Structure 1
């Protein structure tokens, strides 16, 4: 079975505005992450080799840490990054909820605009995974639909504000 997850969303905003939401620390921290989560941006280096390091804060729970390691950025066209859970110092860490969740997920988001409507297509796949981690990722696809869907809902709300 294919271990690649895909989601596509359209936003009734011009590409330039949508791109800024992804490429500026003061914006990405306002919408990134699952619903019900407040993101605290700790490090934001929007360049190949740079990091977006953040704490995900849920009411009544300890912070969960995450990071992007940006691999490729083509302005207003695409962003590729390795996403992982992390520790407070931006090191890779196991997911707090599973010992077989892949340590890193390769994400590629592509951006296009037509008539003032921006389309984002995001692909995610495990990176450097073991067989059990690959199967875990495949089984996680319905949850990812909700997670990424909720994140994109928050992006839509942020863009409308």
Structure 2
């Protein structure tokens, strides 16, 4: 089961499979969809039914994260500013989140590389 509804109160629920065959589910709930300027959503690891679960890689990962993406134009290009913060974290969860920022950055960077590769294959004719 996967779902994608890019609208206020909409849900993006999907799974990822690691090279080792482990399946990990993630769910987003959109709070603000203001194209083309802003996107706000909470994200969390989930089970297949969409229920919040602990991150499979760290028992102290925050249960939920609030993410805000803003898009601005500068000299004919789009600038993406991304802010993320745990929602009501414990001290341990906040520490894990802060210590994992390099991993988070690598994850987003890899996603944007894949997006750029995909977009390079699209014909705009």
Same fold (TM > 0.5): yes
When the two chains are superposed, the root-mean-square deviation of aligned CA atoms in Å is 1.5
CA distance in 2, matches of 1:114, 1:142: 26
Larger Rg: 2
Deviations 1:59-93 (A, max 9, x none): 33221000101111111111000011110011111
CA distance in 2, matches of 1:59, 1:114: 38
Kindly state the Cα deviation for residue 114 of structure 1 after the two structures are TM-superposed. 3.8
CA distance in 2, matches of 1:130, 1:89: 25
From 64, 80, 86, the counterpart of 1:126 = 86
What secondary structure sits across from 1:72 in the alignment? strand
From 111, 115, 120, the counterpart of 1:155 = 115
Kindly state the Cα deviation for residue 116 of structure 1 after the two structures are TM-superposed. 4.0
Structure 2 residues without counterparts, runs of 5 or longer = none
CA distance in 1, matches of 2:90, 2:116: 35
Kindly state the Cα deviation for residue 112 of structure 1 after the two structures are TM-superposed. 2.1
Equivalences for residues 1-161 of structure 1 within 5 A = 42-161=2-121
CA distance in 2, matches of 1:60, 1:147: 17
What secondary structure sits across from 2:2 in the alignment? strand
Kindly state the Cα deviation for residue 115 of structure 1 after the two structures are TM-superposed. 4.6
What secondary structure sits across from 1:144 in the alignment? helix
Larger RCO, structures 1/2 (Cα 8 Å, 6+ apart)? 1
CA distance in 2, matches of 1:114, 1:137: 31
Q: How many residues were matched structurally?
A: 121
TM-score norm. by structure 1 comes to 0.70
